Amino acid sequence: MSDVKKVVLAYSGGLDTSVIVKWLQETYNCEVVTFTADIGQGEEVEPARTKAQALGVKEIYIEDLREEFVRDYVYPMFRANTIYEGEYLLGTSIARPLIAKRLIEIANETGADAISHGATGKGNDQVRFELGGYALKPGVKVIAPWREWDLTSREKLMAYCEEHKIPVDFANKKKKSPYSMDANLLHISYEGGILEDPWAEAEDDMWRWSVSPEAAPDTPTYVELTYEKGDIVAVDGEPLKAHEVLEKLNKLGGDNGIGRLDIVENRYVGMKSRGCYETPGGTIMLRAHRAIESLTLDREEAHLKDQLMPKYAEVIYNGYWWSPERRMLQAAIDETQKNVSGVVRMKLYKGNATVVGRKSDESLFDESIATFEDDAGAYNQKDAEGFIKLNALRLRIAAGKGRKQS
């Protein structure tokens, strides 16, 4: 007899999670609560209600979390200029802590004993969901069907659906999708299919959000981004909510062929994985944020922040959003953003997002000192001689002792 009476499932309404609903009901003889989050995946989420009802689900949560996702997760991450392994903008990683938080909150609201997800035993998402769950509710039971059942192929899943009369689109049951995709407002990812060969070039019709750089307009698009304390608050002078900013930049970036990425990354579980990503708005945001920081941050502050970033990225990628180290790093990063306000002008053209202007009332750029023209005594060039000699002192001493310098 199972000790699980009720479980909250992260439910997309797709094949895998529809099977999981029935499997949980049969295997654990429990009540299933479904939770479907709209985080900007670009598909209607309301049909998940009908599908869940057809499976006998009584408690159904469908929530629009787009603003919370961008405001409380994407924006804080971009304050750090976060990229994993020099390339990946962490589009999938940053969505998981929000979903984990809501799973736990719904479990508490409904009196559920457990949470469940559809992540496989090979990927990072199982780690992210479960680390979040345990951090927010230490005694929660987590059910990960892909680590328990024997439904290890799409064919077995489809057979299970037919046997149990699970309502899926059987008209397309023989049409295997070539890619495993995950989307939210920050990005869309592609894995599987021909991408499992790192030498194979991705097919151009795979991409959903962007045109190829070659097919992008021959005329550049200019956009101005207004920052307040490290976050974009307006686009071309129009005040927008956080999720509206990202929606607008995704459209502008995608139309200009910006944000495509093809990488091989190191998963936390130990294997390498090849994936393709589209992050048009995020790519623009990253370049623009670094531009406004270049004006407003002190040199040592900026350099120390850059040293912290790889660790911060690793923490998020590996699923430790709810950890003390992430909170510590976030506090340090957010402290640097108090004066990161101003406007950045971007030129979007055939796959490139180029900074072409930046201005700020908090700027530390002093034109009277930096000028190549007459600075009217603002900077005494003779001061550089002593500065250089002091910094060369240890090198001169070592050389005088005959220390090898090459």
Instruction: Write the Ramachandran bin of 270: left for phi over 0, alpha for psi from -120 to 50, otherwise beta.
Output: left
Q: Residue 377 corresponds to which tokens in the numbers above? A: 């005594």
Asked whether 383 and 391 are in contact (CB, 8 A), the reply is no
Catalytic residues: 16, 96, 125, 180
Concatenating the DSSP letter of every residue in 241-269 gives -HHHHHHHHHHHHHHTT--EEEEEEE-TT
Q: Which ranges constitute the DSSP H helices of 95-183?
A: 96-110, 125-136, 154-164
Question: Residue 38: in which H helix or E strand, if any?
Answer: strand 31-38
Helix (H, G, I), strand (E, B) or coil at 162: helix
CA 286-292-298 angle, to 5 degrees, is: 115
CA nearest neighbour of 231 among 40, 70, 69, 65? 70
Output the CA torsion 22→26→30→33 (10° steps): 0
CB within 8 A of 110, min separation 6: which ones? Answer: 6, 8, 33, 59
Instruction: Give the bridge partners for 342, in sequence order.
Output: 227
Asked whether 256 and 216 are in contact (CB, 8 A), the reply is yes
CA nearest neighbour of 135 among 273, 327, 391? 327
Question: Could you tell me how far CA 16 lies from the centroid of its own chain?
Answer: 23
Neighbour-count burial of 142, counting CB atoms closer than 10 A to its CB (0-12 exposed, 13-18 middle, 19+ buried): middle
CA nearest neighbour of 21 among 165, 177, 183? 165
Question: Could you tell me how far CA 392 lies from the centroid of its own chain?
Answer: 44
Q: Which ranges constitute the DSSP H helices of 184-323?
A: 242-255, 280-296, 299-317
